[in-house]
Amino acid sequence: MSIEYRPLTAVWEITMGCNLRCGHCGSSCEERLPDELSTDEALSLAEQIADMGLRWITLSGGEPLLREDLPQIVRKLSSRSVAVNIITNGWLLDFAMAEKLKRSGVSTVALSIDGTEEIHDSIRTKGSFARIMNAIANLKHAGVKVGTVTTVSKINIHTLHGLRDILIEAGVDSWQVQMGQPMGNFKNRPDWIIEPAQVNEIINFCYETSIEGDIRISTADCIGYYSEKEAVIKRSSGTGNHVPMWSGCNAGLRNFGILHNGEILGCTSIRQKSFVEGSIRERSLREIWCDPTGFAWRRNMTKAQLVGDCAVCTYGSRCLGGCPNTRLTMNGDINSENFYCTYNFALKELKKRLCEETDLDWLIAQARHSLENKDFQTAALFTERILTIEPENKKALAIKGFAEFMCGNYSLCKDANEKALKLDPNDTYVMKGLGLALHKLGNSADGLALLEQAAELSDYDADFMNDLTYVRNEISSR
């Protein structure tokens, strides 16, 4: 197995059959399909999953409890030290089933709950909320950890506070909140899709809940990114004592998805045929995962493929635009700009405010202050505003050159420094910045020449020599 890509977890949609017809179902599940894996095939796949070294797996659907062999599948996985989580609508989860799941070694059973009773039942079916409450009680009585999952839309976002009180009173152990996306049945209800600004409402709610500490709450990967509140939520949800930040989608890197028929993809949400990597009916799971051409859409993804503000974001190389499925379903392109990113939204709001600002001294001061706080993206925005007013403002160009370099936007850095150097050919810092940018862009010869010139003009200042040595070492190591 490739050391670079070691799978830790997966989501397995073990059936497309479902006893409900939910308005927001992303898979449009109805009846069980004839190509569903048989019990023998499912148990064989469970063995392969364990052999791959996965730590945990989520069994979903459809409605997984419609498969009579579900306890067998859970038992096979848990006996091989794979922690098993199940997501269910709870309709069939009586006490006998709760006991069966407990004996099979299930780790957590999560119930899909989408609001207080009236709202939940309107999304799913009348009586389903009461069934979930009974399922929670049955699971707790059987000694099974209980989780819940809520898909947020415009029609239920206002119920989150009330739902929180209900879940706490019921003794639910954990709660994941995710954003509804236009796929499956949800695609036919565009008026349900939340606005980008409402993502902050969700994060604020989850932050407040995590601080109160009465229930362990987490946000799905489609919600974020790069805010202090998000870091607190992730840390309190049990991801460790460090401050966790989004480091990119793990589809095809650390996790994968399995469809009901044994087809493998990077993520079960990104389910179009073009994203299917293979079938376990044709190749082993290990062969599919280790295929050097597999999961190319994710494994080969770079910041250079992104567009809009994501293409110049300081987090772009790490984040790669956030959840790919959000961009795919919202915009139709997996490399498009993520308008549902809270950082993206905050920058756009700042741009709007800056359009009204004309005080150049204040803007320069704010740009410098941003640099001091290592907020390079914001510094670049302040300079953009200055340069729309005064295109040849040397101070703004110099700050922009440095800020863009620190954001990894080497072409923008080059452009700004070239303009600044025309205004002052002897500015050694601008000269050095241009040299570094050229080196990063692959023109190391010209970059090195500029760095040597800057070092000489600065009387071989230590800062200049450090950069010169760095570039020389990089060139010699090629």
| Distance (Å, whole) CA 295 – CA 109 | 29
pLDDT score recorded for residue 387: 97
**pLDDT at res. 184:** 83
Instruction: Render pLDDT for 248-302 as a digit per residue (tens, 0 to 9).
Output: 899 999 999 999 999 999 999 998 999 999 999 999 999 999 999 999 999 999 9
| pLDDT-derived band at 28, boundaries 50, 70, 90 | confident
Query: pLDDT digits over 169-180, tens only?
Result: 999 999 999 999
pLDDT band for position 241 (cuts 50, 70, 90):
very low
Tokens of 434: 């241009």
Three-class SS of 7-56 = CCEEEEECCCECCCCCCCCCCCCECCCCCCCCHHHHHHHHHHHHHCCCCE
Which is higher by pLDDT, 205 or 187? 205
pLDDT tens digit sequence for 439-459: 999 999 999 999 999 999 999
pLDDT of residue 246: 83
* pLDDT (average), residues 322-330: 95
Q: What pTM, to 2 d.p., does this model score? A: 0.91
Rounded Cα distance between 106 and 347, Å, is: 43
Q: How far apart are CA 255 and CA 346, in angstroms?
A: 30
Q: How many Cα atoms occupy the beta-carbon half-sphere of 187 within 13 Å?
A: 11
Residue 1 has pLDDT above 70, yes or no: no
Q: What are phi and psi of 280, to 5 degrees?
A: -70, -10
- pLDDT reported for residue 334: 93
Average pLDDT over residues 222-247: 78
pLDDT at 161 over 60: yes
Q: Which phi and psi angles does 20 have, rounded to 5°? A: -120, 170
pLDDT > 90 in the chain, percent: 88
